[in-house]
Chains A and B, each alone.
Chain A
């Protein structure tokens, strides 16, 4: 499991690096472009996964700039991956608010720290109910209220079930934010501060990065990872295997460790969808927090004060 984590994160990192370099080579003819050959000069070491499954460390100067491995056209990004129906299952019994998913997501999408496309909330359904940790992604609804209201088709539903945003088309009306009942979407209120390397990445709705000022963004289920045959970073980053990601058509979900039938786990563990009565038909399922592995208080350990304060209303004090 641990090893798995390292492997895939590293692979991902290596992949990103390669991608960045590829773009560097492609897009840096103009003087305004800030992404010079800085990486090469610094001669950083990167860890890559070799074709025969070995982890190798090489000098980034030796990397040959190649175009982004998984490059899709805007059309393809709007279509989705043929034959798939992505689905996520989140096991609330295993979550202890380790926040690894949150930071992994921020890192992967180059979002600044206070911006959380994926957040872990402390829920208490009624005064007498026991509180529990509730990781919340975009639900990628099958009847998405956000998509209905977008006036320019900047946010759209794909045939593989994913709801994406095209930040190059979005006019920033924020209507989708008003329509989303789950407060999933975030807006870029000012020019995002990116490193030159990140700003030079080629934007695609599938990577949702780099963010654009005055547009909306959110959790994208990492379709670029799926295209590369990898799991989203939140799934692999979670030390407790809370997130299961998979394909409903194939009836299989995995948290990287354990692979199970989607229907089986939903049936056996009493899977449900959040706020079913809203009729939005989420693609994210939850397994109720019974037989928990950790007491809920564990989630408050070692939290920075400002994050702990968020939960004040729920835990009291």
Chain B
């Protein structure tokens, strides 16, 4: 199949990673696999010794596992929404970012659900979800939603990959036979006829149209796991949109980091220009404003209304000797700083944005923690227990192991994907003139 000059140039850029695995990469992969190995040991302990090895107890029944789940699954929704919009609105500058966003979805939609399973006491009974399903339960909605989304996002990614697979197949890339055969098989005899092009385009657009609302729905359903309970800080009508915005927002943060890294790593300055970072920063700005607004509305209304139960939670969140500093960090590093760096042109530089995004992503993780844990520590009837682990949640090392294992799996999937496909869509690049204009 014929590709444009810039396409073959791009292929050449990525070919070293696809053809060989360098020493550095091998080390990186070893570290990731070792981390995952340690996590598996943690998992073994958790399964055979019971959930007592975690910090979760009768009051704080969910800990950082559900925080990780919310965070990762949010990333996957964000990736789908961003890629979907860029494709649907034929955003020319966005083309080099689509694949990255989709790969972010892929990695997080695989790793995320593992964390909700870690909250479940009986692994051996997961099939009960299918043999005794109950539609009234938001958890059943979530199971259905995540599965739907998983299938949808795989399809979406695959549809955007077929043309590339055909290119790899017809290229003279020096790869092992199985890789070549797999490409050939995945390319589905695509040769680039007009008809094939049109079919792929239409189905990809259709998938984008489907996935955007699906992502919004599934993010809302996730929020309703909390929103449907009668607890302060959870039982809120704005939780659906709050989670949607939060997901997209942290997704943009991670996308900025990934884009920055890919650009550095593969010397893609010609394709990913400071303009791209500007656009990403604008998106970040809008989402930060939205997220800040929601957070403010949440806190302000509960504080002003000051119903006893709500007020207890707000006190806890803002007291410096309880969650005050975390709340401060989550909102300053998570909203205020990103807004400043995205809004002031002097500060809006790729390197700065990458650092700000990294801190913001951490802050958004902390924000999820602040949604889950303080509320669980504030039951209607004050905790009358003197076992300290029942009163306050502390993250145990088993939970950390599994969390780092999750992060490592995310990177591993990303790294391995980079061995198999180019990180930028080479058959659908922006027109060459565009690249030039953006360079000026």
- A residues neighboring B (CB under 8 Å): 114, 119, 121-122, 136, 145, 148-154, 169-175, 177-179, 181-183, 185-191, 213-216, 275, 278, 280, 306, 309-311, 313
Contacts and interface: CB of A to CB of B under 8 A. Distances in A.
B273 interface: no
B50 A151 contact: no
Contacts of B61: 174, 177-178, 187
A186 B59 CA distance: 9
B50 A183 contact: no
A172 B379 CA distance: 20
Interface string B7-19: 0000000000000
Contacts of A145: 229-230
Interface in B260-295: none
A311 B143 CA distance: 41
Contact of B50 (A153, A214, A278): A214
- For the complex of A and B, 7 pairs with smallest distance between CB atoms: A172-B121, A214-B121, A190-B50, A189-B52, A151-B139, A190-B52, A151-B137
B120 interface: yes
Contact of B134 (A151, A179, A310): A151
A188 B49 CA distance: 11
Which of A179, A186, A189, A306 lies at the interface centre, i.e. has the most chain B CB atoms within 10 A of its CB?
A: A189
A223 to B, nearest CB: 21
Contacts of A150: 134, 137
A216 to B, nearest CB: 8
B379 A149 contact: no
Interface string B101-132: 00000000000000000011110011011001
Given A153-B132, A173-B139, A175-B139, A215 B122 contact: yes
A56 B307 CA distance: 58
B381 A136 contact: yes
Contacts of B51: 172, 187, 189-190, 214
B121 A187 contact: yes
A311 B384 contact: yes
Contact of B129 (A149, A152, A174, A185): A152
B229 A114 contact: no
A286 to B, nearest CB: 13
B329 interface: no
Contact of A148 (B58, B133, B137): B137
Given A171-B120, A174-B119, A189-B50, A309 B380 contact: no
Contacts of B134: 150-153
A178 B128 contact: no
Interface residues of B, number: 43
Contacts of B249: none
Nearest to A136: B381
19 contacts: A121-B381, A148-B228, A151-B137, A152-B129, A154-B132, A171-B126, A172-B120, A172-B125, A173-B120, A173-B121, A173-B139, A174-B61, A174-B121, A178-B229, A182-B380, A186-B58, A187-B58, A215-B121, A215-B122
A92 to B, nearest CB: 15
Given A172-B120, A177-B61, 13 more contacts: A121-B384, A145-B229, A150-B134, A151-B137, A151-B140, A152-B125, A152-B132, A171-B121, A173-B119, A178-B226, A179-B229, A190-B49, A310-B386
A177 B58 contact: yes
Given A119-B384, A152-B128, A171 B138 contact: no
B436 interface: no
A171 B122 contact: yes
Given A171-B122, A188-B50, A182 B133 contact: no
Interface in B377-398: 379-387
A178 B62 contact: yes
A233 B256 CA distance: 62
A117 B152 CA distance: 44
B231 A151 contact: no
B122 A172 contact: yes
B225 interface: yes
Contacts of B125: 152, 169-172
A181 B386 contact: no
Given A310-B384, A310-B385, A149 B228 contact: yes
Interface string B55-70: 0111101100000000
A183 B121 contact: no
A151 B122 contact: no
A182 B58 CA distance: 12
Contacts of A311: 384
A179 B380 CA distance: 12
B136 interface: yes
Contact of A175 (B49, B56, B133, B137): B137
Contacts of B226: 178
B80 interface: no
B376 interface: yes
Interface string B320-346: 000000000000000000000000000
A149 B137 contact: yes
A310 B384 CA distance: 5
A216 B120 CA distance: 11
A178 B381 contact: no
Contacts of B133: 151-152
A242 to B, nearest CB: 18
A149 B139 contact: yes
B122 A306 contact: no
B262 to A, nearest CB: 38
A136 B50 CA distance: 28
Nearest to A166: B132
Contacts of A216: 121
